[in-house]
Structure 1
Amino acid sequence: MKIGLYFGTFNPIHTGHMIIANHLAEHSDLDQVWMVVTPHNPHKQKNTLLDDYHRLEMVHLATKDFPKLQPSDVEFKLPQPNYTVNTLAHLQEKYPQHTFSLIMGEDNLNSLHKWKNYEVILQNHSIYVYPRLASGEIDAQFINHPKIHRIGAPVIEISSTFIRESIKNKKNVVPLLPEKVWHYIDHNLFYKK
């Protein structure tokens, strides 16, 4: 199976994430998209980042009715700080029957050359890139790279930061979140202060 890995803190997961993930699962040659919840980096200030397992639970709730979308806590078990190249090596070893690709926004493609062992990633894995409004200048080496596939997904500019701020300011964010995720946030009083 061809698996696309969509990494994120998902703090919280919102309809923008779901639209992108579902678009790739339905309109590319990927068989599944795994939503990889990035754990809290112990070297960074926690701020508004919810506990890893609350964020994973929200991804479970959001993807429940989408068989091609799967939550993943693979990075919870890896040493921190973790690098994508290590996660890919771990998954390839654990699931040799699958082929793993990365999913990223065009804005992240700009900084790919700064990633640890990015050449190794590109040697062994494809990257599916979805459009972003403010993506800046793409590094020339990535423009016609055979392993980089541009996907004409909808341009979604919803941010988890905006959602958290809106909840804190008592604004209605229901349309921006999968219904079960909103109920989970509301029930647990997350992001209220």
Structure 2
Amino acid sequence: MKKVGLYFGTFNPIHIGHLAIANHMVEFSTLDEVWFIITPQSPFKKKHSLLDNHHRYQMVFEAVQDYPNLKPSTIEFDLPQPNYTINTLLLLEEQYGKEHDFSLIMGEDNLKSFHKWKNYESILEHHAIYVYPRISKGKMEHQFVGHPKIIKVDAPIMEISSTFIRNAHKEGKNIKPLLPAPVWKYMDEMNFYR
């Protein structure tokens, strides 16, 4: 059975930090693959800076071309909005459950609010959560410390954000080194975030 880590995000745009974390999970944990679950633009919350789903998918697709164990996913694009992670997991289980064992990947900061997620107990009962450090390598101080399904992975701390990239690009700064080359090319050709 293939162990797949699900890395959720808007990836607006995907950057080298996302790739470094996903690749680290495949190389230095028990995961065989990481799927980038691209969160769709909610019809109820139109954000001016959020690119259309297909453009963000294309950038993730371009970014992972040289990484056979990293894959883009549009699984959430057709789910009713607002969507919850539990719904995505149920759909993935229905479609791929016989051959795949799904886990979540999240930053330590998100784990601290995980108890507020819809059906978080059910998620934890059926899925492991791989946690990477976000701000410092300090101890995880939250209610999930020591939980057998929470797996802390000593991944590199990446202080890069898509928001920073969008804002810096809009200001005319050179952000090319923060993006995989094909993502920069696509973003530049499409004149995004200017």
Asked if Structure 1 and Structure 2 have the same fold, meaning a TM-score greater than 0.5 normalized by the shorter chain, the answer is yes
Task: Write out per-residue CA displacement over residues 121-149 of structure 1, whole angstroms, 9 at most, x where no aligned residue.
Answer: 00000000000116997322x00000000
| Count of aligned positions | 191
Distance in 2 between the 1:133 and 1:82 partners?
28
Distance in 1 between the 2:21 and 2:87 partners?
24
Task: Write out per-residue CA displacement over residues 22-75 of structure 1, whole angstroms, 9 at most, x where no aligned residue.
Answer: 000111100100011000012213220000000000000000110000000000
Q: Who is 1:174 aligned against?
A: 176
Q: Who is 1:143 aligned against?
A: 145
Distance in 1 between the 2:164 and 2:139 partners?
22
Long gaps (5+) in structure 1 = none
Contact 1:107–1:136 (CA under 8 A) maintained in structure 2 = no
Task: Write out per-residue CA displacement over residues 139-184 of structure 1, whole angstroms, 9 at most, x where no aligned residue.
Answer: 22x0000000000000001000000001100000011000000010
Task: Write out per-residue CA displacement over residues 66-102 of structure 1, whole angstroms, 9 at most, x where no aligned residue.
Answer: 0000000000021111000110011011112210000
Contact 1:100–1:125 (CA under 8 A) maintained in structure 2 = yes
Q: Equivalent residue of 1:155, what SS?
A: coil
User: Which has a greater percent of helix?
Assistant: 1
How much is the aligned-residue C-alpha RMSD, in angstroms?
Answer: 1.3
* 1:1-193 aligned within 5 A: 1-96=2-97, 97-133=99-135, 138-140=141-143, 142-192=144-194
Distance in 1 between the 2:54 and 2:95 partners?
22
Contact 2:108–2:140 (CA under 8 A) maintained in structure 1 = no
Q: Please, what TM-score do these two structures have when normalized by structure 1?
A: 0.96
Distance in 1 between the 2:45 and 2:178 partners?
27
% identical equivalent positions: 59
Contact 1:104–1:130 (CA under 8 A) maintained in structure 2 = yes
Q: Please, what TM-score do these two structures have when normalized by structure 2?
A: 0.96
Q: Equivalent residue of 2:173, what SS?
A: coil
Distance in 1 between the 2:171 and 2:139 partners?
31
- Structure 2 residue identity aligned to 1:73: T
Q: Equivalent residue of 2:94, what SS?
A: helix
Contact 1:37–1:72 (CA under 8 A) maintained in structure 2 = yes
- Structure 2 residue identity aligned to 1:172: N
